Structure 1
């Protein structure tokens, strides 16, 4: 066999392998954002932020069977903020997160995976409670690291289910009437159960 023919066959085989490994996936399910218990000090008061569950969505692409890139999205999360136990405000946020994932046993029925990436949290719709009177509170956006660990269960050839936990570095500046009064250290754990389809 000529070297050129062998090279063509090898390249064709590599291309076929790459094509079969490059799978798109879409997943949807429940996602819970659970801020850590101590959310910092705001205006000399201890801040706490409650948890919330929304519809989570993720979109991804397998570069090869082991490595994938993923974007996490969701419907807006809504949280209440309390200072020294008194609820003073509520806000909504969207936390799109980009991750690079590694699947340890991609062909198995159950495949553990880990991920690491970046999170951007967009905060909006801040509403003050009556306790603040006519004062206006605003909560800033955040950009930070994210880490993930989970399990993927193969339900069928094209369908799967995933359970995972993420940690996100979310620190948001808090302003009262335009003046900085502290930082909310949200740093939540984010838990998801999703069903997905591969294409």
Structure 2
């Protein structure tokens, strides 16, 4: 089957069902959030004011299932997995300011379920204020909120000159650290980002991409 856009003719690709992957992402998010909220007991150990932590891991970024409408067609942005990095400074006991960075995530964008609209890369630097619950166990949950600044670049499309505007939005997270040594921990966390980007094609506004992804991450975190 063919789709004609602006005088150009494109063949449709088979529709890819991402519902299973997104259901799994939501289950992981719910598990991490619920565990982080109930896995703490009486306070004994704390992250001390002046401490630093650095984390290195991998993150699976999964945009929401409905990514808005572009050029009158339903848009779909696929998932990607990349290395992620964090650095956190504790301004008070148990209260830290964290910066999230990553290598560029890459996404394919389809329209109408099967029309290949192009590819785009983005960087998701995020600044958050985190509260780490003090516990008397090796399990240490935390929650955080902050600001995400998403930088889109390297847009490519056979349809023409594709551009996505950078985005500023809310970022929320919850996580759980498992202490493997006195200063080292394995971290599982889930983040949600409010990411909306105005999209232009050949200089014309064709709509807004509503990405709003979940990021599920696993990292090793070391405290200094």
Q: Same fold (TM over 0.5)?
A: yes
User: Which ranges of structure 1 fall in alignment gaps of 5 or more residues?
Assistant: 1-18
Partner of 1:113 in structure 2?
142
Partner of 1:150 in structure 2?
175
Count of equivalent residues: 178
Partner of 1:37 in structure 2?
65
Distance 1:168 1:67 in 2: 21
TM value normalised by structure 1: 0.86
8 Å CA contact retained: 1:66, 1:106: no
TM value normalised by structure 2: 0.76
Partner of 2:206 in structure 1?
181
Q: How large is the Cα RMSD of the aligned pairs?
A: 1.6
Could you list the per-position Cα deviations for residues 19-62 of structure 1 after superposition, in whole angstroms to 9, with x for gaps in the alignment? 95321010001011110000001111000000000000001112
User: Could you tell me how far 1:157 is from its partner in structure 2?
Assistant: 1.0
Distance 1:32 1:92 in 2: 15
Distance 2:216 2:108 in 1: 19
Partner of 1:191 in structure 2?
216
Shift of the 69–106 alpha-carbon distance from structure 1 to 2, 3 Å rule, reads farther
Shift of the 72–173 alpha-carbon distance from structure 1 to 2, 3 Å rule, reads same
User: Could you tell me how far 1:105 is from its partner in structure 2?
Assistant: 2.2
Shift of the 102–68 alpha-carbon distance from structure 1 to 2, 3 Å rule, reads same
Distance 1:99 1:109 in 2: 23
Structure 2 residue 189 is matched with structure 1 residue 164: yes
Structure 2 residue 86 is matched with structure 1 residue 61: no
Shift of the 120–61 alpha-carbon distance from structure 1 to 2, 3 Å rule, reads same
Distance 1:58 1:106 in 2: 22
8 Å CA contact retained: 1:65, 1:106: no
Distance 2:116 2:182 in 1: 48
User: Could you tell me how far 1:111 is from its partner in structure 2?
Assistant: 1.0
Distance 1:97 1:107 in 2: 30
Structure 2 residue 163 is matched with structure 1 residue 138: yes
Distance 1:20 1:125 in 2: 41
State which of 113, 116, 138 in structure 2 corresponds to 1:87: 116
User: Could you tell me how far 1:88 is from its partner in structure 2?
Assistant: 1.1
Distance 1:122 1:32 in 2: 18
User: Could you tell me how far 1:123 is from its partner in structure 2?
Assistant: 0.3
The runs of at least 4 consecutive aligned structure 1 residues that moved more than 4 Å come to none
